[in-house]
């Protein structure tokens, strides 16, 4: 629990206090008076943010080590950030998810859009995984976990604190079990008629990617009796969804042997192992090899990692997306479908779509766009924060 009163921090005249008043959740380091007192605040400290006239704007979390030096927590400068405060945010978020889904498998907290900046929480039935990607959440992880257990009734809470976002905050990687027993086996997750095996302790991120759920469903709807190729498949996201909807076969390609093992376990659990194959290797190399073999598929999906995670990586990232499209297009049978995905917030939809179209054209193919998809509704967007709309999935008919 944190007791008021709080220290104060003040915006510079060049800072955009009006944007903050209207809902923008961040203050950048070059917008804040960073005197010795402010620089001396411990990462994760709470403070009252004031404009240049010393009018309070709200209660913020401060991290002098980050370019995002302030994250807005509450418009009430006297708010107390304790278990009850967290419970109120979690209750509001839970009401949205339970209206959407009839089973407890979803992203419960999507950072700023759910009022907990820098925090991601994914729920897997009785298990929940927290990613505290901001210093304040590290500091207040105990009341957050207490509130999570109170509101949801989960019996296991894990913390997976690693990745680029924490590095940008100046935070070290650390993970562990906050409540209950550490799972020793993968957790089965039901989505779109498929069964996915989520490794909550050793898998990527929180163990499973919920954001692609509606895009899995769209692609699976086109896949009845189809030959499907799922590249960068992870635990079989698109391929298993397609098999659940009657695909004739699915080949999952990934560089991770543990991920493909989980994909095969999912196929076994669904009773579709006879129609499911895996191929381990570099995705670019495997696609080139498949082309040399003359392989053809009715539906091809490429869901790579973020090639453009920052503005500085944008141009090489777009070239990588173009190369993915160029290698994938020859594998699509005439009249078939190619779905290309990007989780890079630095590459907006137009840039990504254009790079994909260039790659298809360089492969000597032509296509029409038949669908554009985004993250599911359990990944809400904060209107003021373009970065929260990171996922794009564009389906071409070639």
Per-residue pLDDT of 248-289, as tens digits, reads 999 999 999 999 999 999 999 999 999 999 999 999 999 999
Per-residue pLDDT of 186-243, as tens digits, reads 999 999 999 999 999 987 778 899 999 999 999 999 999 999 999 999 999 999 999 9
Per-residue pLDDT of 36-66, as tens digits, reads 999 999 999 999 999 999 999 999 999 999 9
pLDDT of 1 over the 50 cut? no
The fold of the 8-74 domain, in CATH, is: 2.30.130
As a whole number of angstroms, the distance between CA 185 and CA 16 comes to 49
Q: Where are the domains of the chain?
A: 8-74, 83-179, 187-397
Give the pLDDT band of residue 387 (cuts 50, 70, 90).
low
Determine the distance from the C-alpha atom of residue 330 to the mean position of all C-alpha atoms in its chain, rounded to a whole number: 29
Higher pLDDT, 198 or 162: 198
Average pLDDT score, the chain: 95
pLDDT of 388 over the 90 cut? no
Higher pLDDT, 246 or 389: 246
Whether 83-179 and 8-74 are alike in CATH topology: the answer is no
pTM listed for this prediction: 0.94
Q: State yes or no: is 343 an active-site residue.
A: yes
Q: CATH number of 187-397: 3.40.50.300, 3.40.50.620, 3.30.70.3270, 3.40.50.150?
A: 3.40.50.150
Task: Please tell us whether the domain made up of 83-179 is placed in CATH 3.30.750.80.
Answer: yes
Percent of the chain whose predicted confidence (pLDDT) is above 70:
98
């Amino acid at each position: 629990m944190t007791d008021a009163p709080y220290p104060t921090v003040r915006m510079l005249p060049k800072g955009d206090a009006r944007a903050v008043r209207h809902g923008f959740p961040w203050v950048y380091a070059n917008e804040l008076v960073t005197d010795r007192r402010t620089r001396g605040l411990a990462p994760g400290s709470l403070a009252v943010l004031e404009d240049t006239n010393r009018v309070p704007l709200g209660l913020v979390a401060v991290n002098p080590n980050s370019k995002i030096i302030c994250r807005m927590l509450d418009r009430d400068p006297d708010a107390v950030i304790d278990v009850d405060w967290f419970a109120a945010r979690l209750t509001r978020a839970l009401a949205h998810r339970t209206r959407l889904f009839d089973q407890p498998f979803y992203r419960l907290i999507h950072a700023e859009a759910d009022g907990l900046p820098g925090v991601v929480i994914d729920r897997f039935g009785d298990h929940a995984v927290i990613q505290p990607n901001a210093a304040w959440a590290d500091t207040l992880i105990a009341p957050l976990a207490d509130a999570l257990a109170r509101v949801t009734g989960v019996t296991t809470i894990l913390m997976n604190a690693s990745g680029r976002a924490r590095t940008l905050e100046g935070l070290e990687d650390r993970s562990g079990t906050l409540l209950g027993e550490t799972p020793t086996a993968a957790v089965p997750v039901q989505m779109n008629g498929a069964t996915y095996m989520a490794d909550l302790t050793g898998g990527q991120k929180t163990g499973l990617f919920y954001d692609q759920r509606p895009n899995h469903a769209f692609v699976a709807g086109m896949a009845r009796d189809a030959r499907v190729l799922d590249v960068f498949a992870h635990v079989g996201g698109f391929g298993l969804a397609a098999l659940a909807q009657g695909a004739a076969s699915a080949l999952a390609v990934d560089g991770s042997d543990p991920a493909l093992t989980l994909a095969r376990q999912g196929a076994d659990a669904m009773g579709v192992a006879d129609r499911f194959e895996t191929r381990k290797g570099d995705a670019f190399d495997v696609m080139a090899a498949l082309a040399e073999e003359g392989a053809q598929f009715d539906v091809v999906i490429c869901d790579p990692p973020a090639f453009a995670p920052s503005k500085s990586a944008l141009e090489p990232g777009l070239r990588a997306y173009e190369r993915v499209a160029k290698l994938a297009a020859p594998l699509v049978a005439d009249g078939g479908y190619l779905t290309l995905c990007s989780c890079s917030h630095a590459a907006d939809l137009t840039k990504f779509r254009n790079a994909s179209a260039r790659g298809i054209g360089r492969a000597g193919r032509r296509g029409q766009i038949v669908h554009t998809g985004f993250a599911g509704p359990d990944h809400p967007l904060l209107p003021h924060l373009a970065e929260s709309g990171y996922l794009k999935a564009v389906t071409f008919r070639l």
